[in-house]
A = this chain, B = another copy of it.
Amino acid sequence: MISIDAEPQPSDLGDVRVANRAVVLRHVRLHAPCSRADIAAHTGLNKATVSSLVTELIDRRLLRETGLTENRIGRPATMLVLDGSRYASLGAQIEADELVVVAVDPAGSRLLTWRRAATAGAPGDTVRALAALARRAVGRLTAQDRTVLGLTVAVPGLVDAAGAVPLAGALGWRDVPLAADLRAALRDPGIAVGVDSAAHLAVLAEQRYGGHAGTTDLVHLTGGVAVAAGVIAGGRLLRGSRGFAGAIGHLGLDESGPPCECGRRGCLTALTGLPAVIRRLLPDVDADGPPTDLLPDLERLHVLARTGDAGVHAGLADVGRDLGRGIAVLANLLNPEAVVLGGHFATLAPWLLPAARSELAARTYAPGAGGCRVDASTLDRIAPALGGATAALSTVESGRLPAG
């Protein structure tokens, strides 16, 4: 295997302890319940090291003993699982028409899922509304004796390294210092705040909780007003040099196609984004109307499709073909194991997927589309918020223990 010029990490004692905590926590997350001996056997760490780390992690309420013992030859072993009871992390999702807040615990259990209709307008209004929801969530979790590790917010647009939003067409935002504004709004009660693109966070959630969990080469295609791709390659999120990777919503598929908010014609978003699908298939609807009608219109479309409306079926097959053209670009360039479709693509998947898969197979250079599968997300349109909550766990999962 050709090695690349990534910087090899020197090993000194402090880093080793942190790294080994991460190894133990990850092993338990993936294989619980498991014994100390199992951890040592699988990870190559020696038993004394494992014992010492497990003692520390139990003391910090990140692991717990279940009291179960395995049926095995020899001395019974106490089994370990992640302890989800002491901490929580928050994720949020800003959409054109709603706010979503979720909380998870370190064991991966969902603690709360809130959706609030909220038309995105001035960033300041969104910051206020989101901060209020976040404060209420923190209060709820604190009352359960949990420490909230942080909040990461998903934005349907470009997010730079400082957590600012240079451009989010779906919200009509340009140059919004979102992370700074949220941190100011949440100084009391002092939650650690991160901001990232919805596409990046959604693919993290898919890799953690979705139908293709654990896949090392995976793409999540967000639906909604803004179509974008989150990419995991070689097991790691592909951010690009400025964090702007995945912006394929304005990939030009048809120069003579419908106009797009980006100024061009026939982009992937203009052909397959939610307003475009509604406009194409429900001609009576004013699809340039307020975003508050998007979800009800999607539901109408869904009902028509489910009840066998031939026009809607044919229209969705057309949209599926356009979607398949976009997916073929991803398959050719990235050769992923799977492309997972989120947002309205997931809702309408049964009527989109056949045409999308067929177009993908026809347009991918590698035989058999290079093995690329296309499936609907199972994360119920909240993959970005779930990914945010997972991201907010990253400090602990990388072996750095929270204060106190």
Residues 210-241 of A, flagged 1 when their CB comes within 8 A of B and 0 if not, give 00001111000000000001011111111111
The A contact surface, by secondary structure, is loop
With A330-B333, A398-B3 as contacts: A365 and B247 at CB distance below 8 Å: yes
Decide: B207 and A5 in contact? CB cutoff 8 A: yes
- Chain B nearest CB from A107 CB (Å) reads 16
- Residues of chain B within 8 A (CB-CB) of A71 are none
Kindly state whether residue A350 has any CB partner on chain B within 8 Å. no
- Residues of chain B within 8 A (CB-CB) of A215 are 241
Kindly state whether residue A16 has any CB partner on chain B within 8 Å. yes
Decide: A333 and B335 in contact? CB cutoff 8 A: no
Residues 225-263 of A, flagged 1 when their CB comes within 8 A of B and 0 if not, give 000010111111111111111111111101100000010
How many copies the complex holds: the figure is 2
Kindly state whether residue A367 has any CB partner on chain B within 8 Å. yes
User: How many angstroms from the CA of A332 to the CA of B231 in the assembled complex?
Assistant: 12
- Residues of chain B within 8 A (CB-CB) of A143 are none
- Given contact pairs A11-B11, A12-B45, A245-B335, enumerate 16 new A-B contacts (beta carbons under 8 Å): A2-B152, A2-B200, A2-B391, A3-B394, A4-B235, A7-B235, A10-B44, A216-B241, A234-B239, A240-B336, A241-B370, A242-B371, A245-B333, A246-B333, A247-B335, A330-B333
- Residues of chain B within 8 A (CB-CB) of A200 are 2
Kindly state whether residue A142 has any CB partner on chain B within 8 Å. no
* Central interface residue in A204, A208, A239, A371, by most chain B CB within 10 Å: A239
Decide: A365 and B229 in contact? CB cutoff 8 A: no
Decide: A196 and B2 in contact? CB cutoff 8 A: yes
Kindly state whether residue A166 has any CB partner on chain B within 8 Å. yes
Decide: A332 and B235 in contact? CB cutoff 8 A: no
Say which one of A17-25, A56-64, A121-129 lies at the interface with B. Answer: A17-25
Decide: A333 and B329 in contact? CB cutoff 8 A: yes
- Chain B nearest CB from A215 CB (Å) reads 8
Kindly state whether residue A46 has any CB partner on chain B within 8 Å. yes
Residues 180-198 of A, flagged 1 when their CB comes within 8 A of B and 0 if not, give 0000000000000010100
